[in-house]
Amino acid sequence: MAKKNFILVCGGTGCESTRADEIYRTLIKEAELQGVKDDVQVVKTGCFGFCEKGPIVKVLPQESFYVEVKPQDSAEIISEQVIKGREVVRLLYRKDEKAASNIKLEDIQFYQKQFRIVLRNCGIINPENIEEYIAREGYTGLEKALFKMKPDDVIEELKKSGLRGRGGAGFPTWMKWDLTRKQPDPVKYVVCNADEGDPGAYMNRSTIEGDPHSVIEAMAICGKIIDARQGYVYIRAEYPLAIDRLKIAIDQARDMGLLGKDILGSGYDFDIEIRLGAGAFVCGEETALLQSLEGKRGMPVPKPPFPAIQGLWKKPTVINNVETFANVSAIMAKGAEWFAKVGTEKSKGTKTFALTGKINNSGLVEVPMGTTLREIIFDIGGGIKNGKKFKGVQTGGPSGGIITERSLDEPITYESLAALGSMMGSGGMIVMDEDDCVVDIAKFYMAFCVDESCGKCAPCRIGTKQMYDILNKISKGTALEEDLDKLEKIGKAMTKASLCLLGGSAANPTLSTLKHFREEYLEHIRDHKCKSGKCKELVVYEIEPAKCIGCGLCARRCPVPCIVGEKKQPHVIDKAKCIKCGECFKVCKFGAVIKR
């Protein structure tokens, strides 16, 4: 027997779960009281990601979306909606007209903060079946580029769309294509940058895994416009599933005449090959990537000449990020005007982010440009894990900076993130809470840059190591206050003098944490103290004699062992031998072990 209605009650950790529980119970009770318990099922659900307006109740199949519901609303939901089939209008969500990121596209009216252009097919189609992509407006853009629009029109369309590169720097895509197109050389190339080396980022991987044709189609369009015959996807070997799906997709496209010779009978030839990268961060930098593609060691070379003039094998080359390409196929299918309605004046469209760290709903999100960090972290991400306090969010990975509470309401655009001392980067977004230590974070990213620096130029090769050594000293409590000035000095020099942006932005995490959390740095230096306990060398474990009952558990667990004491007598830690593993702190049931 099919039910008439399903009432979904949000039971996410973000909502006040107790109230949601009560609503759940009163709804069931009311359904019984009003004699319709067989017509309706009340269900508890996961988080709807709209916690600020919670608790949320959704009624299916009407998709009625009720916000800030109270237990006493239950009777009305049952009597109106289930019995009379009418929505309870006063509880329906109404769009907040003030919110900057509201999308005013006629056919979409919704409460969701996410808007999926790049990920439009991810989670919907079978990525290993080209027909499903074709069925959803797939390859209509290529059709237009081959048969309907002149190259000038396509460039004009991209210009109108306002699309800027999603690989980090935000360079207007149309300009890149136009410049390459105008080079007289008869041989040109299209390259897709799928290196994605930013630790914590996986948007490009997911896009290729979920919708490989969105990238393939756009590369073919690009080829047609700039008059190239060959494309390459440079993808890291650590992405085996993405590589498999890409291979399948390229083969299917070739079999059906969407790649290869005489595409769709148009006379135009274009093919794509996959090239695997070994996973060096610097190989994501475009000039290093092209070197690597040529079979050389992946090291950046000075620009100019830009790849558009002299790229792969010295031929004019368009190199774009995976997400940039996935946007192009959507723009070509749906039109520039449609696309330009989403986002802000200078940053059009959406951006995908990989939301990780101390966040409840970690995952892949795509939001219109201009959405605030608060909306991403607290509405979509469901807030900080275990109710802890938000400390900051790192965007742009090792090239970006920390953004604090103060700037949470800043709309996200290329410009605003740069002004905050961070950058859009590829889209990793790591959320930190009060238990994270900024020195530890800065040290982590600097260690990454020391490892990944290609060593070609001195400012980066030497500067990253020097900065790392100072950060390491700070974390051990052996640094001096003037070391902070040194950090800033080296950081600024490195930013100015490095050949590529690996070194050019390696100081960002350090400089931005130093700017926002100087006090915390000083605590490490002056007081030899790390509040969060992340800098192990500064932590001291002790047993408080008054609380210790002498159960001996800690002594048995200590790996050294360095805890002694008589049975039922207070135990003592030999601090000289302690390796600060924290095991005693974890196991003591009496709170007798303290961390200082």
Nearer to ligand SF4, 392 or 491 (CB): 491
Number of residues that bind another protein (CB under 8 A): 75
If binding is defined by CB under 8 A, does position 266 make contact with another protein? yes
Which one among 320, 498, 505, 513 touches ligand SF4, defined by CB under 6 A? 498
DSSP 452-509: H--S-SHHHHHHHHHHHHHHHHHHHT---THHHHHHHHHHHHHHHH-SSHHHHHTTHH
Contact 587, 553 (CB under 8 A): yes
Q: Which residue has the tokens 């000449």?
A: 305
- What are residue 60's phi and psi, to 5 degrees? -105, 155
CA distance 328 to 490: 40
CA distance 175 to 161: 12
Cis peptide before 305 (omega within 30 of 0): yes
Which residues 124-163 are close enough to bind another protein by CB under 8 A? 124-128, 131-132, 134-140, 143, 146-147
> Strand, helix or coil at 319?
strand
What's the residue count for the chain?
596
If binding is defined by CB under 8 A, does position 271 make contact with another protein? no
If binding is defined by CB under 6 A, does position 320 make contact with ligand FMN? yes
The contact mask relative to ligand FMN for 164-203 (x = CB under 6 A, - = no) is -xxxxx-x---------------------x-xxx------
How far from the centroid of its chain's Cα atoms is residue 588's Cα?
Answer: 38
CA distance 501 to 300: 10
Contact 139, 258 (CB under 8 A): yes
Contact 216, 343 (CB under 8 A): no
Which residues 90-129 are close enough to bind another protein by CB under 8 A? 108, 110, 112, 114-117, 119-128
CA distance 134 to 329: 12
If binding is defined by CB under 6 A, does position 351 make contact with ligand FMN? no
Torsion from C-alpha of 417, 419, 420, 422, nearest 10 degrees? 50
CA distance 42 to 44: 7
If binding is defined by CB under 6 A, does position 446 make contact with ligand FMN? no
The contact mask relative to another protein for 242-261 (x = CB under 8 A, - = no) is x---------x--xxxx-x-
Which one among 460, 484, 525, 538 touches ligand SF4, defined by CB under 6 A? 460
For residue 403, the partner it binds in another protein, ligand SF4, ligand FMN, none, with Cβ less than 5 to 8 A by kind, is: none
Query: CA 482 → CA 21, 51, 456, 478, 488, distances in Å?
Result: 55, 45, 29, 12, 10
Any idea what DSSP says for residue 225? Answer: H
Two structure tokens written together for 387 = 């109710």
The nearest distance, CB 414 to ligand SF4, in angstroms, is 22
Contact 481, 526 (CB under 8 A): yes
Which one among 19, 25, 29, 44 touches another protein, defined by CB under 8 A? 44
For residue 563, the partner it binds in ligand FMN, ligand SF4, another protein, none, with Cβ less than 5 to 8 A by kind, is: ligand SF4
> Within a 10 A sphere around the Cβ of 433, how many other Cβ atoms?
18
Any idea what DSSP says for residue 345? Answer: S
CA distance 488 to 509: 11
Which one among 220, 502, 514, 525 touches ligand SF4, defined by CB under 6 A? 502
Nearer to ligand SF4, 200 or 284 (CB): 284
The nearest distance, CB 257 to another protein, in angstroms, is 3
End-to-end CA, the chain: 63
CA distance 75 to 28: 10
If binding is defined by CB under 8 A, does position 43 make contact with another protein? yes
The nearest distance, CB 596 to ligand SF4, in angstroms, is 12
Q: Which stretch binds ligand FMN (CB under 6 A): 313-321, 365-373, 440-448, 542-550?
A: 313-321
Q: Which stretch binds ligand FMN (CB under 6 A): 59-67, 117-125, 500-508, 569-577?
A: 500-508
If binding is defined by CB under 8 A, does position 270 make contact with another protein? no
Torsion from C-alpha of 553, 558, 561, 563, nearest 10 degrees? -50
If binding is defined by CB under 6 A, does position 319 make contact with ligand FMN? yes
Q: What pairing do the DSSP bridges indicate for beta strands 593-595 and 563-564?
A: unpaired
Which one among 179, 522, 562, 572 touches ligand SF4, defined by CB under 6 A? 562
If binding is defined by CB under 6 A, does position 578 make contact with ligand SF4? yes
Which one among 74, 324, 394, 512 touches ligand FMN, defined by CB under 6 A? 324
- What are residue 428's phi and psi, to 5 degrees? -70, 140
Which residues 491-530 are close enough to bind another protein by CB under 8 A? none
Which one among 404, 453, 475, 495 touches ligand SF4, defined by CB under 6 A? 453
Contact 264, 146 (CB under 8 A): yes
Two structure tokens written together for 208 = 């290729």
If binding is defined by CB under 8 A, does position 532 make contact with another protein? no
Which residues 340-399 are close enough to bind another protein by CB under 8 A? 360-366, 380
The nearest distance, CB 23 to another protein, in angstroms, is 14
The nearest distance, CB 172 to ligand FMN, in angstroms, is 9
Nearer to another protein, 125 or 228 (CB): 125
If binding is defined by CB under 6 A, does position 274 make contact with ligand FMN? no
The contact mask relative to another protein for 207-226 (x = CB under 8 A, - = no) is --xxx---------------
DSSP 538-559: G--EEE-TTT-----HHHHH-S
Nearer to ligand FMN, 446 or 502 (CB): 502
Q: Which stretch binds ligand SF4 (CB under 6 A): 185-193, 364-372, 373-381, 454-462?
A: 454-462
The nearest distance, CB 470 to ligand SF4, in angstroms, is 18
Two structure tokens written together for 537 = 């060398």
> What does the binding site for ligand FMN look like in residue numbers (CB under 6 A)?
165-169, 171, 193, 195-197, 281-282, 284-286, 319-321, 324, 426, 500-502
> What does the binding site for ligand SF4 look like in residue numbers (CB under 6 A)?
282, 300, 453-457, 460-461, 498-500, 502-503, 541, 543, 548-554, 558, 560, 562-563, 571, 573, 578-584, 588, 590, 592-593
